[in-house]
């Protein structure tokens, strides 16, 4: 990035902070002098309240979803459904869940986040948004190919990148359930899935029977390289299309898939 581009982006970020965040001086202070891991509470002018961890990937998540329009098509899909359940797989600090709850007052969200540090911040964010929290159920489990126990690794610098296949500084045992079990939790209704599970998407696509996918109307997902080096990205996308979805690449978030 050139110095001119860097300056332009910095000015644009400052403008967005002032325009969107009520306590923008605190947000800007976090930007120019971050204290890694400290909690920063931001109040947005549209009523959203958000706790993030300074100097970590939380700020990038906030920028992607709130400023850059990430998951725009996913939110449009959720908005247009009358009776919809949303599975937020890899919920992190809960921003996607909060935004999905805002766009559709009838939606029920099941947010899966196995990492204790991430889930704790998400719980704070639910409490900070009382008008939304009753429609968001936080489940401190991971969704993968099969149920069981697995080692989950925490990345303090980029908590959103933590996962089963990450080499982070702290490791712990977490509970996993299958996608089929997650759909049973949501009940028999139209389901939209957001999936950002740091490589575990390959286990989900490998081990989930086709009949389970018939209950899924749409899917927004980030696609990583297969940690087990069994399936290529192209093979993964072909499998999704073979399940009856039309897959389209996105600008901010990897892919959006919807029923043909």
77 with 133, same domain: the answer is yes
Nearest to 104 by CA among 130, 136, 137, 67: 136
Residue 254 CA to residue 248 CA, distance in Å, equals: 9
* pTM score of the predicted model: 0.93
The CB density around residue 109, as the number of other CB atoms within 10 Å, is 26
> Within the chain, which residues score under 50 in pLDDT?
1-2, 6
Residues 6+ positions from 170 with CB-CB distance below 8 Å: 153, 154, 156
In the listed set 14, 36, 65, which residue is the last one of a domain according to the structure?
A: 65
For residues 192 and 228, the answer to whether their CB atoms sit within 8 Å is no
pLDDT of residue 1: 43
pLDDT of residue 170: 84
231 with 154, same domain: the answer is yes
**pLDDT by residue (tens digit) across 106-119?**
999 999 999 999 99
Residue 72 CA to residue 109 CA, distance in Å, equals: 17
The answer to whether the Cα torsion of 206, 252, 55, 103 is positive or negative is: negative
**pLDDT by residue (tens digit) across 70-123?**
999 999 999 998 888 999 999 999 999 999 999 999 999 999 999 999 999 999
34 with 88, same domain: the answer is no
Number of folded domains that form the chain: 2
* DSSP 8-class letter at 144: E
**pLDDT by residue (tens digit) across 168-185?**
778 889 999 999 999 999
Residues 6+ positions from 192 with CB-CB distance below 8 Å: 74, 77, 78, 81, 84, 85, 86, 87, 216, 217, 218, 219, 220
pLDDT of residue 4: 52
44 with 88, same domain: the answer is no
CATH number of the domain encompassing residue 111: 3.40.50.150
Q: Which domain holds residue 225?
A: 69-259
Residues 6+ positions from 15 with CB-CB distance below 8 Å: none
13 with 125, same domain: the answer is no
The enclosing H or E element of 257 equals strand 255-259
In the listed set 43, 65, 87, which residue is the last one of a domain according to the structure?
A: 65
160 with 233, same domain: the answer is yes
User: Which residues are bridge partners to 202 per DSSP?
Assistant: none
Nearest to 252 by CA among 128, 84, 69: 69
90 with 121, same domain: the answer is yes
128 with 177, same domain: the answer is yes
């Amino acid at each position: 990035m050139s110095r001119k581009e860097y300056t332009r982006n910095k000015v644009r970020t400052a403008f967005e902070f002032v325009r969107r965040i009520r306590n923008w001086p605190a947000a800007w202070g976090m930007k120019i002098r971050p204290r890694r891991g400290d909690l920063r509470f931001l109040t947005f002018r549209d009523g959203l309240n958000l706790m993030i961890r300074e100097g970590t990937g939380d700020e990038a998540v906030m920028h992607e979803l709130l400023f850059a329009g990430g998951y725009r098509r996913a939110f449009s899909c959720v908005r247009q459904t009358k009776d919809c359940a949303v599975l937020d797989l890899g919920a992190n600090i809960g921003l996607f869940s909060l935004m999905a709850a805002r766009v559709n007052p009838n939606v029920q969200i099941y947010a899966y986040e196995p990492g204790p540090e991430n889930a704790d911040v998400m719980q704070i964010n639910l409490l900070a948004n009382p008008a939304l929290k009753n429609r968001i159920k936080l489940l401190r489990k991971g969704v993968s190919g099969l149920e069981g126990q697995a080692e989950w690794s925490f990345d303090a610098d980029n908590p959103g990148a933590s996962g089963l296949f990450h080499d982070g500084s702290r490791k712990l045992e977490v509970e996993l359930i299958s996608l089929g079990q997650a759909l049973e939790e949501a009940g028999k209704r139209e389901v939209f899935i957001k999936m950002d599970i740091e490589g575990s998407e390959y286990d989900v696509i490998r081990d989930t029977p086709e009949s389970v996918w018939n209950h899924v109307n749409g899917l927004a997902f980030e696609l990583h390289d297969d940690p087990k080096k069994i399936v290529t990205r192209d093979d993964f996308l072909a499998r999704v299309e073979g399940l009856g979805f039309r897959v389209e690449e996105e600008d901010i978030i990897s892919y959006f898939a919807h029923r043909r």
